[in-house]
Chains A and B, each alone.
Chain A
C-alpha cells in the first residue's frame, strides 16, 4: 500500500449496529468495500471484492471468525485479517491469531487507533493490543521450555527471545510502537519485525506446524 492511499476494508460482524458504528468511526480514512454478517456471505463477498484488510469479529454463528479465516486464508494469503472482538477469553484470541489473523484489538478501541491499526495491517505488519501481548506472554510462559522436542529443532521457535519478550512487555504496559522504539533505542522497523516474529511463532506453535516450518527452513 502506498502511503496516504486509503486501504480497502471489509467488515464482518453479526451486529448491524456495530458495523455502522465502525463505518462511522473509520470515516474517510479507509474505503469500506463491503460488509457481511455471516460466514457464507462473508467468504463469498471477500473473495469477490478482494479487500486489503478484513475487520473480523471473533464470535458469530456457524464458526465465527475462525471459519472465515480457514475458508479464505489458505488460498489468499494476501488478504489480511484484523480480529476485532469483545471477547476477553485468551483461547478465543489466540485461536484466531493461530488461524492467521494479523492482529487483535478490542471493540473499545478508539476510531483513530483503529485506523492506525488497519493501516499497519495493510502494510503487512502485525498489531498487538496490550491485552493480546499479555495473553501471548502468558501462553509462552506457561509452555514447557523443552517438552521432549528433539534438539535438532530451532529452540528459538518454542520460546520468545529476550528482545521479543521485552517488546511484548512494553506493548502490554500500554506503549505505542513509536514510544517502544524510542524506549529500546531501536528503529520502528525493528519493532515491527520483532512483533511479526512473535506472531509467526504463535501461528507455528502447534508441534506439527513447527516441525514442518523447521524442515522447510533447513531446506531453504
Chain B
C-alpha cells in the first residue's frame, strides 16, 4: 500500500482536476488519482463534510477554482485575474454576500445560517467558473444547468430562459417589497436592507446577462479595432515605401548606383521599423540623444545623400554629452569624406563606449592616399576633424595606404555625468 502511494505521489505530478473521472468538476477524481485511493471514498468523505458543516462544499468550490484541469496549467482563478468582467463580478459579490449572511443570521432563518457561507461562496464561485471555464467545461455545465439563469457569454437566449429569468426576477422583486412592507417585528431596522437586497438581486437576475454581454461585446470590439489598426499600418507601410521604392527601382534600372541607394535606404528603414520599433520616417526628425542613435543618424544621412552603404556597429551606449557631439560631428565628416572620395562601396563605422572614453573608427577600402603627399583640400578636412576633436580634448588619427583604403580613428575621453550609461 505504501509503495502504491509513493508511486502515485511521484508519478502523477501536481494535483489536477480529473478530466475523465468526474461527476461535477473532477476534483474528487483528481484527489483520488493523486492519492491512489478509490474515487468513491473521496466522494463519500466530501459529502460527509458537506453535510456536517458545509465545509466540504466550500472546499470543493475552492479546489475547483484553484486546481488546473488535467493537461492544463492555468486554474480558473488565474484566468479570472486577467478577465476584467470576472474581477468586477467577484468584487460585486463580496458586499452582497456579507449583507445576505448578515440578514439571514439576524432573521434567524435557522437552517440557512449554518450553510449560508459555503452556499454563497459556492454561488460566487460558480459564477466565476461559469465565466472562465474552458470550452468543453462550460458546454458541459450548460447541459447540466439547462437554460436556468443564463449568465453565459453566448448570445444564445432561448425564450424559455427569458421567461424563467423574468419569473425568478419578479418573485425576488415581490419578496423584496414584501419584506420591506411587512417584515419581522424584531428586525425593524434591517428591513429596508433585506428588502433592498432582494430588489437588487431581482435586477441582477433580470438585467445581468444583458449587461454582461454588452461588456463582453465592448471588449471584443476594442480588440478587433486594435488588430485592424495594426494591419492598416502594416499595409500603409508596404504601400507607401516598399512599393514606391520598387517602382523607382524599375524606372532607374539603367542606373545601378541609384538602385543600390534606393534599396539600401528602404532596407534600413524597414530594419529600424521591424527590429528597433521605430516609426518609419521618424528617424532624424529630432536630434539624437544617445551615441548609438547618433551613429545611426550618420549611417542614415550618408547612405541617402551619397549612395554608399555604411555598416555601423555600436558597442555600448551613453547619453550625448557636449564633447561626444563633437566626436560624432567629426565622425560624420570622416564618413562623408570616405563616401565622397574613397570610391569604396562600403564604409565601416564602429563606435565603442568605454567607462573612460569613447572611440569611433571610420574605415573604407577605397583608393587611399599617401599621408605624406596629401592634397591641400584633404589636408584641410583632416585638420577640421583634428581641430574639432582637439578643442574638446580628443585625439584624431588618420591612417591611409594607397590602394588599401583609409581609417580614421577618433578617441574622446569622457567627462562628468555618466548616468546615461547602459551597462
Give the interface of A toward B (CB within 8 A): 86-89, 108, 130-131, 133-134, 137-138, 141-142, 169, 172-175
Contact = CB atoms under 8 A, between A and B. Distances in A.
Given A130-B348, A142-B423, A173-B348, A88 B315 contact: no
Contacts of B276: 88
Nearest to B309: A108
9 residue pairs, one from A and one from B, having the closest CB atoms: A174-B348, A134-B313, A137-B315, A88-B275, A173-B350, A173-B361, A172-B313, A174-B363, A172-B350
Contacts of A169: 350, 352
24 contacts: A86-B271, A88-B275, A88-B276, A89-B275, A108-B267, A130-B311, A130-B350, A131-B311, A131-B313, A134-B313, A134-B350, A137-B352, A141-B315, A141-B316, A142-B316, A142-B423, A169-B352, A172-B352, A173-B361, A173-B363, A174-B348, A174-B350, A174-B365, A175-B363
Contacts of B348: 130, 173-174
B299 interface: no
Contacts of B271: 86, 88
Interface string B274-295: 0110000000000000000000
Contacts of A174: 311, 346, 348, 350, 363, 365
Given A134-B350, A137-B352, 7 more contacts: A130-B348, A130-B350, A131-B313, A142-B423, A169-B350, A173-B350, A174-B365
B407 interface: yes
A130 B361 CA distance: 12
B315 A173 contact: no
B422 interface: yes
A89 B313 CA distance: 13
B126 to A, nearest CB: 41
A169 B352 CA distance: 9
Contacts of B346: 174
Nearest to A87: B275
Contacts of B423: 142
B314 interface: yes
A172 to B, nearest CB: 5
Contacts of A86: 271
Contacts of A172: 313, 315, 350, 352
A133 B275 contact: no
Nearest to B353: A141
Nearest to A137: B315
B267 A134 contact: no
Contact of B315 (A89, A108, A134, A175): A134
Nearest to B361: A173
A16 to B, nearest CB: 18
A183 to B, nearest CB: 10
Contacts of A108: 267, 309
Contacts of A137: 315, 352
Contact of B314 (A87, A89, A134, A175): A134
Interface string B295-325: 0000000000000010101111000000000
Interface in B11-56: none
A133 B352 CA distance: 12
B240 to A, nearest CB: 20
A137 B267 CA distance: 25
Contact of B407 (A87, A88, A142, A173): A173
A131 B314 CA distance: 8
A131 B271 CA distance: 14
Interface string B244-279: 000000000000000000000001000100011000
A145 to B, nearest CB: 11
B256 to A, nearest CB: 14
Nearest to B363: A174
A133 B314 CA distance: 10
Given A88-B271, A174-B311, A174-B348, A138 B363 contact: no
Interface string B349-387: 010100000000101010000000000000000000000
Contacts of B407: 173
A138 B311 contact: no
A120 B182 CA distance: 96
A175 B405 CA distance: 11
A81 to B, nearest CB: 22
Contacts of B361: 173
A176 to B, nearest CB: 9
Contacts of A173: 348, 350, 361, 363, 407
A20 to B, nearest CB: 18
B398 to A, nearest CB: 14
B406 to A, nearest CB: 12
Contacts of B275: 87-89
A40 B147 CA distance: 48
Contacts of B352: 137, 169, 172
A174 B406 CA distance: 12
Contacts of B311: 130-131, 174
A120 B1 CA distance: 64
A88 B423 CA distance: 20
Contacts of B365: 174
A169 B409 CA distance: 13
Nearest to A174: B348
Contacts of B309: 108
Contacts of A175: 363
B262 to A, nearest CB: 14
